[in-house]
Amino acid sequence: MSTLKDPELKKDFAVDLTVTKGRNMQAIFKTSASAVPPFTKYNGPANSALEQAVKDVLNGADINSALRKANERANQEIAAMIEGGL
pLDDT digits (tens, 9 = 90+) for 23-75: 888 888 888 878 988 999 999 999 999 999 999 999 999 999 999 999 999 99
Whole-structure pTM value: 0.59
Work out the pLDDT band at 4, boundaries 50, 70, 90: low
Q: How far apart are the first and last CA of the chain?
A: 37
- Which parts of the chain fold into alpha helices (H)? 7-11, 43-58, 63-83
Q: Where are the domains of the chain?
A: 1-34, 43-83
Angle ∠(14,18,21) on CA atoms, nearest 5 = 75
11 or 77, greater pLDDT: 77
